[in-house]
Structure 1
Amino acid sequence: MKHKKITIISISALMLAGIIISCSDSGDSSEITSGSNLGSNCPTKTCGDFATRAQAQAAYNSNKSCYKNLDADGDGIACESLK
């Protein structure tokens, strides 16, 4: 009975460690945002982080929910103030 309990605890600990690693390994922690994306792995990017509108649009198209702040008016075009 004691061996079975230790095995169950060990398996549970390994599963928990796997979940923690898989959740934290999906992005660079230095780019995790705060505010509306709190707790997600969305990078903090603004239009000022891009040299061209094409670069900003590519980032926006790659993950519209993460980069929704690049499309201020919601028309699908990122950083319209950039050239």
Structure 2
Amino acid sequence: MNTRIKITVLFIASILLGLIISCSESSDASNTNDISGSTGNSSNSNCPTKTCGDFKTQPQAQATFDSNRTCYKSLDGDGNGRACESLPKK
């Protein structure tokens, strides 16, 4: 009976340790910042979420897209290198 209790305690301890490590890693990822120091929500935790609706003109969206094409790839829906083509040019 004593061996059974030891095995149970070790099993529970290993599960708790795994949960602690898992929670620690996920909270670290949610606190990352992009280069400008602001946080945002996107699939890449270093990139703030931007949509074409965040801009008044295509050149504004293009400048943001050009600053980091990986982060802002959603601004170029057809992949031709031009961001938010439906926005006004001026």
Q: For structure 1, which runs of at least 5 residues remain unmatched after alignment? A: 1-19
Q: For structure 2, which runs of at least 5 residues remain unmatched after alignment? A: 1-27
**Change in CA separation of 1:79 and 1:25 when aligned onto 2, cut-off 3 Å:** closer
Partners in 1 of 2:76 and 2:53 — Cα distance? Answer: 13
| Runs of 4+, deviation exceeding 2 Å | 23-27
Q: Cα deviation per residue 1:40-76 (whole Å; 9 max; x = unaligned)?
A: 2101100000000000000000000000000000000
**1:24 paired residue number:** 32
Percentage of pairs with the same residue: 56
Where in structure 2 are the equivalents of 1:69-80 lying within 5 Å?
69-80=74-85
Q: What is the TM-score of this pair, normalised by structure 1?
A: 0.60
Higher helix proportion: 1
Q: Which has the larger radius of gyration?
A: 2
Partners in 2 of 1:63 and 1:53 — Cα distance? Answer: 16
Aligned length: 57
Q: What is the TM-score of this pair, normalised by structure 2?
A: 0.56
Which of 47, 66, 74 aligns to 2:71? It is 66
